[in-house]
Amino acid sequence: MSALLELTFVLLALASCRGLQDSGIDEEPELVFQPSKFGSLWPLPQKVQISEVSFKLSPSNFQISDAKESRSGSSCSLLQLAYRRYYDYMFEGVKKVDRSARADPTELLELQVWITSPDTECDSYPTVSSDESYELSVDQPVAVLKAPKVWGALHGLETFSQLVYEDEYGAKSINYTTISDFPRFAHRGVLLDTSRHFLPIKVILANLETMAMNKFNVFHWHIVDDPSFPYLSKTFPELSRKGAYHPYTHVYTPADVKMVIEFARLRGIRVVSEFDTPGHTQSWGKGQPNLLTPCYSGSKPSGTFGPVNPILNTTYDFMRKFFKEVSSVFPDSYIHLGGDEVDFTCWKSNPDIQKFMEQQGFGKDYSKLESFYIQRLLDIVTTTNKGYIIWQEVFDNGVKLKPDTVVHVWIGSGTNSEMSNVTAAGYTTILSAPWYLDYISTGQDWQKYYKVEPLSFNGTEEQKKLVIGGEACLWGEYVDATNLTPRLWPRASAVAERLWSAKEVTDIGDAYSRLSVHRCRLVERGIPAEPLSPSFCPHEYKGI
Ligand SMILES: *[C@@H]1O[C@H](CO)[C@@H](O)[C@H](O)[C@H]1NC(C)=O
Ligand SMILES: *[C@@H]1O[C@H](CO)[C@@H](O)[C@H](O)[C@H]1NC(C)=O
Ligand SMILES: *[C@@H]1O[C@H](CO)[C@@H](O)[C@H](O)[C@H]1NC(C)=O
Ligand SMILES: *[C@@H]1O[C@H](CO)[C@@H](O)[C@H](O)[C@H]1NC(C)=O
């Protein structure tokens, strides 16, 4: 970053004081841009030391390659593709001069990538227990990136690219640096909702790209819900034919889904699909007769439908076939089964359901009926050899869960007693309650997300170990391809650092300075991430 730019940031930050007061958030401390000793690294690595010694890099002389000692060989296309991607990010728009031009003797010539473990996992899918660690040393003439697995190498490449900056004459530079890094939490996710609005594949891929730039590693695909069913099922094609907004233009074909999964894998990202039942299923009913419960008005069916009908054997036959397909389409070892917000009104109105409740001895407790359904669903999914993630209500209602179930906490704000309860019962947990990014407000609300401490609930050390991470959720009521990216980024970046960096990384001023430049980097890479405050980027967004 040039000295001029730094100065301008400071001046703009001072000038913005009035604007902040006008927008009613004057209780937030005023943040002033000051160059961080950590440059523009985001999320901040666990251990980092950047010196004042700097080297130049030129597009004609610099290259990224496999270290001779690397176990990856040269056949790992995941790495080769990443080398090309990061080379392009670093030198986008910089003219390549004649190759025969002699390198400056102080130039950095090469980044060597060294995968140290015999099983590089180049052709595997990332999992919740993947090793994502790496070590990076930038020295002249060669920088070395060491990682046990390809996943750490991907993160290290991102970090390396974040160390490259433009000096005051616009020349690409990098400082002598040593970094040793690994994530604090294993599950760092972003939820997108493709039911309330259809999201074109292009937008999903752009989001995966941005996730990788923030070291997120889980794409939670909330693929279907009440409004539409865009997932094209090979077993039950009627579901999307009748339940999607449009049967051809607003669906995800098997090829689309495959593309998303592979694009994500190449960036170290898991794709966890969510097929939420028994509530949130209106769109399922259009293509699958008798799946939903008919609601009654007095003694007659009213013509409307409620949650999945839990009293019919055909329901479970359907779910068995459907989840058999889902479990083979999505390679991740977890499926998100939803289970949130089940409205009992329709079940209560239906005389067949009432009779069933009586037979089962459930009394008037409809959460017992919900548990009856979920229990059978979980048994079905267990036979596919997948683990499951469920929204917190399933736990709250006392459903018997497998010990490896992941409970997703979303109700309330901050970290609450639900976290204590779930972990006290011995379940693995992921947190989203403080990170519903669809709730928008003016001002720098990223600070609110940043200040969350996921382990601040009451509990023993054993309980805290059960928290494997969290997810930023962007529900789709008011979000489609037009506004998804600027609404999500860089607000989700705040969550990314909270989940990756050490617990002690809480300096909001330093975060502001790094995030300001990180956001400009996203913009320079063509991502329309919204601004944090009055300021400018050296390379502004050029539009589409
Ligand atoms: C990198 O080196 C330059 C030139 O010595 C120095 O001005 C800058 O502060 C260094 N960057 C960091 C993040 O230490
Ligand atoms: C549903 O399945 C159960 C258990 O297999 C069986 O006892 C019951 O008769 C079946 N109900 C109907 C309506 O087929
Ligand atoms: C956690 O458990 C306690 C004791 O059972 C209960 O009082 C409290 O309401 C629970 N918290 C939540 C958020 O359900
Ligand atoms: C933790 O427990 C203490 C004592 O039981 C209570 O006073 C406090 O409010 C609890 N804190 C949280 C965050 O739940």
Q: What is the pLDDT, as a whole number, of residue 13? A: 40
> How many Cα atoms occupy the beta-carbon half-sphere of 470 within 13 Å?
30
Number of H helices, E strands in the chain: 19, 17
Task: Give whichever of 19-28, 102-111, 524-533 has the largest mean pLDDT.
Answer: 524-533
Beta strands 142-147 and 110-115: pairing type? parallel
Mean pLDDT, to the nearest integer, of 469-481? 98
Nearest CA to ligand 1 atom 5: 52
Does 417 sit in the ligand 3 pocket, CB within 6 Å? Answer: yes
Closest CA to 50 of 168, 152, 165: 165
* Dihedral sign, Cα of residue 305, residue 311, residue 313, residue 319: positive
Q: CA 317 to CA 252: how far, in whole Å?
A: 24
Residue 20 binned pLDDT confidence (cut-offs 50, 70, 90):
very low
Q: CA 150 to CA 134: how far, in whole Å?
A: 9
- Rounded mean pLDDT of the chain? 92
Residue 428 binned pLDDT confidence (cut-offs 50, 70, 90):
very high
516 pLDDT above the threshold of 70: yes
Beta strands 165-166 and 406-409: pairing type? unpaired
Nearest CA to ligand 4 atom 4: 458
Q: How far are the Cα atoms of 9, 35, 171, 519 from residue 3, in angstroms, in the given order? A: 10, 10, 13, 18
- In three state form, how does the secondary structure of 386-398 look? CEEEEEHHHHHCC
Closest CA to 229 of 304, 322, 139, 138: 322
Mean pLDDT, to the nearest integer, of 321-348? 96
Beta strands 387-391 and 467-474: pairing type? unpaired
Distance between Cα 410 and ligand 3 center (Å) = 15
520 pLDDT above the threshold of 70: yes
Residue identified by tokens 């009440």 is 226
Q: What is the pLDDT, as a whole number, of residue 526? A: 95
| DSSP E strand boundaries for 269-316 | 270-274, 292-297, 300-308
Does 249 sit in the ligand 4 pocket, CB within 6 Å? Answer: no
CB within 8 Å of 206: residues ≥ 6 apart:
485, 527
Give the residue ranges of DSSP H helices in 383-530. Answer: 392-396, 417-424, 446-450, 461-465, 484-488, 491-500, 508-524
Q: How far are the Cα atoms of 1, 12, 41, 519 from residue 9, in angstroms, in the given order? A: 11, 5, 18, 13
pLDDT tens digits, 444-462 = 999 999 999 999 999 999 9
Does 54 sit in the ligand 1 pocket, CB within 6 Å? Answer: yes
Distance between Cα 170 and ligand 1 center (Å) = 15
Q: What is the pLDDT, as a whole number, of residue 14? A: 37
Does 39 sit in the ligand 1 pocket, CB within 6 Å? Answer: yes
- φ/ψ region of 397 (left if φ > 0, alpha if ψ in -120 to 50, else beta) reads alpha
Angle (deg, nearest 10), helices 201-213 and 254-265: 10
Q: What is the pLDDT, as a whole number, of residue 75? A: 85
Q: What is the pLDDT, as a whole number, of residue 25? A: 47
Supply the DSSP string of 242-271, one letter for each residue.
HHSSSTTTT-B-HHHHHHHHHHHHTTT-EE
**Residues above pLDDT 70, as percent of the chain:** 92
Domains and CATH numbers, the chain: 47-181 (3.30.379.10), 187-504 (3.20.20.80)
Does 417 sit in the ligand 4 pocket, CB within 6 Å? Answer: yes
In the numeric block, which tokens belong to residue 232? 């094209």
Mean pLDDT, to the nearest integer, of 80-91? 97
Cβ-count burial of 336 within 10 angstroms (0-12 exposed, 13-18 middle, 19+ buried)? buried
pLDDT tens digits, 202-222 = 999 999 999 999 999 999 999
CB within 8 Å of 389: residues ≥ 6 apart:
272, 274, 334, 335, 336, 337, 405, 406, 407, 408, 430
Sequence-distant contacts of 353-362: CB under 8 A, at least 24 apart: 353/293, 353/309, 353/310, 353/311, 356/311
Q: What is the pLDDT, as a whole number, of residue 543? A: 82
Q: What is the pLDDT, as a whole number, of residue 104? A: 74
Among 69, 92, 168, 341, which one carries the catalytic annotation?
341
Beta strands 300-308 and 292-297: pairing type? antiparallel
Cβ distance 444 to 532 under 8 Å?
A: yes
Distance between Cα 538 and ligand 1 center (Å) = 18
Does 37 sit in the ligand 1 pocket, CB within 6 Å? Answer: yes
* 147: enclosing H helix or E strand: strand 142-147
Choose the residue to mutate in 453, 458, 460 for probing ligand 4, maximizing ligand atoms within 8 Å of C-beta. 458
Distance between Cα 313 and ligand 2 center (Å) = 6
Which atom of ligand 3 approaches the CA of 418 most closely?
13
15 pLDDT above the threshold of 50: no
Q: CA 388 to CA 401: how far, in whole Å?
A: 9
* Amino acid, res. 470: G
187 pLDDT above the threshold of 90: yes
Which atom of ligand 1 approaches the CA of 175 most closely?
1
Q: What is the pLDDT, as a whole number, of residue 544? A: 65
Cβ distance 336 to 408 under 8 Å?
A: yes
DSSP tag of 288: S
Nearest CA to ligand 4 atom 6: 458
Ligand with minimal distance to 425 CA: 3
How big is the CA angle at 192 (ends 191 and 197), to the nearest 5 degrees? 155
10 pLDDT above the threshold of 70: no
493 pLDDT above the threshold of 70: yes
Does 412 sit in the ligand 4 pocket, CB within 6 Å? Answer: no
Q: What is the pLDDT, as a whole number, of residue 73? A: 76
Query: Could you confirm whether 341 is annotated as catalytic?
Result: yes
* Amino acid, res. 260: V
Mean pLDDT, to the nearest integer, of 2-20? 39
Q: How far are the Cα atoms of 266, 289, 371, 377 from residue 313, in angstroms, in the given order? A: 41, 14, 16, 12
- φ/ψ region of 290 (left if φ > 0, alpha if ψ in -120 to 50, else beta) reads left
Does 134 sit in the ligand 4 pocket, CB within 6 Å? Answer: no
Cβ distance 273 to 326 under 8 Å?
A: yes
Q: How far are the Cα atoms of 95, 103, 344, 363 from residue 109, in angstroms, in the given order? A: 17, 8, 65, 74
146 pLDDT above the threshold of 90: yes
Closest CA to 193 of 498, 536, 538, 432: 432
Which atom of ligand 1 approaches the CA of 53 most closely?
5
